Amino acid sequence: MREVIIGYQGEMSLKGLNRNQFESALMKILRYRLKDAGRFQVWCAQSTFYIEPEDDAADLDLAFARVSKVFGLAAVSRCAVCDKDFDAICAAAESYLGQALRQVKTFKVEARRADKSFPMTSPQLMRELGAFLLSRHPYLRVDVHQPDFKVIVEVRDRGAYVHGPKTPGEGGLPVGTSGRALNMLSGGIDSPVAAYRMAKRGLALDHIHFASPPYTSERARRKVIALAQRTTVYTGSCNLFIVPYTRPQECIRDNAPPMLFTVLMRRSMMRIAGQIAQRQGCEALVTGESLAQVASQTVQALRCTDAAQDLPVLRPLIGMDKTEIIETARRIGTFETSILPYEDCCTIFTPPHPKLRPTLEEVLEAEAAMPDLAALEAEAAASAQRLRIRIDDQTELDD
């Protein structure tokens, strides 16, 4: 029996970009994400995406796992394909879904006839296929309102597709159709969730991480690489820039009022991120900040951070509670890695009482007293290490 994956298009509208552009972007993403899963033919017809293995070596389980995490698809189904012939449809439904029907008490058939040359109408097909399945599974009852199981038949151009209930997709927009941004990835819980949320709105992402060896460890660095890797199932393969941040951070520690240390460091990180973003053609920065979560995330502190560089700073978690963020982190598979207890450069040198409402004036004044900082930042940006994080590359933390 031939088996294929069907993806149903979700929201795909944006003034200026047309449906064709979205569809070809999505097809390109699908092909790219399936590269290591075998040979697949990917095509789109009538707003539906078809992913068909070209030979037996293709890994349909991996392909389905990948496709169900591609933004832009509202739902996905794994189906049996057969000829557009009633007997063939009955045979396919029984052999593909018979096992599932033996596990339930009630069912219903849904049929959709996109190919109007098929001789039976949709209601006819539903009735007749339902009767056939009841004859094979006499213990079943039909429940059209709340069935335990749905048998779905779609008669389309290239064949009849038979499957069980659709699996919800991730929704959102194909990655890249909204441009490219640089995500500030800390190793905490929030920033991988921020990456997920912005990729969902169609942004292609690279990540930037600030490391301050020897204050931060090799394990902390590996944790961030692992986090970037976990998010690739949503973002696709990406770059991770690791910035050696020790010297700018020491400069701030040694020369600025401790109360302003955090906000000054945040601004400094933003400037470096801004430089790397410009170099990479990223049009925005993304952070995992959430209003009032910590001292650097008050409205006044965010104003100071925003003023450090010109790109828009996107903060998709700004209105989310920690419990909501954790829920998402668990669902997308980053939580367990995020809670590994390695230090982040944001948590070293932090003063006991950071200023909750810093003003831009006092922050600029403190920076004016650190004339060497800009050069140290430029040097850090120039010596950032670029790592390619690939979707098919599993980084395991071994301790």
Residues at the site binding ligand ATP, with contacts judged by CB under 6 A: 184-186, 188-191, 208-210, 287-289, 294, 296, 344-346
Cβ nearer to Mg ion, comparing 170 with 190:
190
- What residues contact residue 170 under an 8 Å CB cut-off, 6+ apart? 68, 69, 70, 71, 73, 200, 234
Residue 185, binding choice from ligand ATP, Mg ion, none, Cβ under 5 to 8 Å by partner class: ligand ATP
33 and 25 in contact (C-beta within 8 Å)? no
**Nearest distance in Å: CB 345, ligand ATP:** 5
Question: Shortest distance, CB of residue 306 to ligand ATP, whole angstroms?
Answer: 13
**Residue whose CB is less far from Mg ion, 23 or 190:** 190
Q: Which does 287 bind (CB under 5 to 8 A by kind): ligand ATP, Mg ion, none?
A: ligand ATP
Min separation Cβ 33 and ligand ATP, Å: 25
What's the min distance (Å) between Cβ of 235 and ligand ATP? 15
Binding marks (x or -) toward Mg ion, 171..200, rule CB under 5 A?
Answer: -------------------x----------
Q: Which residue is nearest to ligand ATP (CB)?
A: 188
**Cβ distance to ligand ATP smaller for residue 9 or 186:** 186
The DSSP secondary structure of 7-76, one letter per residue, reads EEE----BTTB-HHHHHHHHHHHHHHHTGGG--EEEEEETTEEEEEESSTTS-HHHHHHHHTT-TTEEEE
C-alpha to C-alpha distance for 43 and 27, rounded to whole angstroms: 7
Q: Work out how close the CB of 286 gets to Mg ion at its nearest, in angstroms, rounded to a whole number.
A: 13
Picked from ligand ATP, Mg ion, none, the partner binding residue 296 (CB below 5 to 8 A depending on kind) is: ligand ATP
Distances from the Cα of 386 to the Cαs of 207, 244, 280, 393, in angstroms?
10, 12, 11, 16
Measured in degrees and rounded to the nearest 5, phi and psi for residue 349 equal 65, 10
Instruction: Name every residue whose Cβ is closer than 8 Å to that of residue 167 and which is 6 or more positions away in sequence.
Output: 68, 75, 76, 77, 78
Which of Mg ion, ligand ATP, none does residue 260 bind to, with CB < 5 to 8 Å depending on kind?
none
| Cβ partners under 8 Å of residue 228, min gap 6 | 185, 207, 238, 240, 387, 389
Asked if 344 is part of the footprint of Mg ion (rule: CB under 5 A), the reply reads no
Choose between 344 and 367: whose C-beta lies nearer to ligand ATP: 344
Which residues lie near Mg ion (CB under 5 A)?
190
